[in-house]
Amino acid sequence: MGLDNKEFPDVIRGTDRALHPEGVAWDPSRSAFLVGSLRYGTVSVVTPDGATSTLVKHENLIATGGIRADVERNRLLVTYDDVYAGPGGLLSAGSTPETAGRHAGLGIFELDSGKLVQLVDLGWHSGLHLANDLALDADGNAYVTDSFAPTLFRVDPAGNASVFLEDDAFDAPTTDGLPEVGLNGIAYHPDGYLLTVRYDTGELLRVPLDGTPRATKVDLDTPVIGADGIALRPDGDLVVATNTIRSAGYDGAFLLRSEDGWKSATAVRDERWPDASPTTIAVTPHGDYILSSSLQVLFWSGGQETSDGFVLRRH
């Protein structure tokens, strides 16, 4: 018998050495969390007591980011990269100057076994790429944000990749040769559109899935600068985690609400987060859990320093 809400801990502390997960998802098939690793490129299962075990480890995964569990199709989908952090900044154990900013894609694995199904390359364009987060629609299509290029990719259930939308609204500037982080978190709305957020400006964008794809800005009463992960709750509200890793925002958590189909939205909760650098959210039957793994240590040191452990805290 599983734990109920009262027994499920408010704070879950993982103790793995320098795992530095950036993405998290709830896995209903295990009643557990799945986390990636910016440092080692793995996917791990995390139980409510904080115990962590490796599910996916593959030689072609340098860093893993966004994660989704597709229970219906027995698929685990995870974005992978070698994150570019400027000349000489190699964040992952497997980083190389040749692959940093150019190794980007979507990994598809069996959810139950962690066995590789397919690696889908999303770094074929010229320039730098960062396949950051993904959303799944009702038909199993995955939509992947590229934080370094103004591109939203689509990967169908058979693993075929295409550019779903290129839009100037996604385009982030470059500062001192280092690209700013543009598109980041993304969520699928069951009414047939995507919501995605820009990390640098805090803008929330709405992208319909029918007709001609286009991005329109959601009229927000306050920008969510430094917005990393977003998650749509069953009640229709949107949880947003913000951080200061590469932004002028703050380490925080927002709860956004819309009354007009996400043409506009208001922040009904806005709070400073007690853990450094919250990145994303897992919506679970036991509440919404926000992941923090001190990624600022890894980024601000250019990969020269790491921090052990991570925190999943109920919002």
* pLDDT single digits (tens) 280-304: 999 999 999 999 999 999 999 999 9
Which two three-digit tokens encode residue 145?
């944000």
Among 68-77, 173-182, 212-221, name the one with the lowest average pLDDT: 173-182
CA atoms within 13 A on the CB side of 132: 29
CA–CA distances in Å: residue 92 to residues 100, 146, 159, 161 = 9, 19, 26, 26
pLDDT (0 to 100) of residue 86:
82
* pLDDT single digits (tens) 49-101: 999 999 999 999 999 999 999 999 999 999 999 999 888 889 999 999 999 99
Q: Where are the domains of the chain?
A: 11-314
Closest Cα to residue 249, out of 235, 237, 267, 263?
267
Q: Is the pLDDT of residue 178 over 90?
A: no
CA–CA distances in Å: residue 116 to residues 150, 188, 293 = 29, 25, 26
pLDDT (0 to 100) of residue 1:
39
Burial class of residue 74 (count of CB atoms within 10 Å of its CB; 0-12, 13-18, 19+):
middle
pLDDT (0 to 100) of residue 185:
98
* pLDDT single digits (tens) 15-36: 999 999 999 999 999 999 999 9
186-197 mean pLDDT: 98
Burial class of residue 17 (count of CB atoms within 10 Å of its CB; 0-12, 13-18, 19+):
exposed
Among 72-76, 127-131, 188-192, 309-313, name the one with the lowest average pLDDT: 127-131
pTM to 2 decimals?
0.96
CATH superfamily for domain 11-314: TolB, C-terminal domain (2.120.10.30)
CB of 43 within 8 A of CB of 67? yes
* pLDDT single digits (tens) 248-285: 999 999 999 999 999 999 999 999 999 999 999 999 99
pLDDT (0 to 100) of residue 99:
93
CB of 274 within 8 A of CB of 299? no
Confidence tier at 5 by pLDDT (50, 70, 90): low
Burial class of residue 213 (count of CB atoms within 10 Å of its CB; 0-12, 13-18, 19+):
middle
Q: Is the pLDDT of residue 4 over 60?
A: no
pLDDT (0 to 100) of residue 222:
92
Closest Cα to residue 184, out of 216, 229, 139, 218?
229
C-alpha span between 242 and 267 (Å, rounded):
13
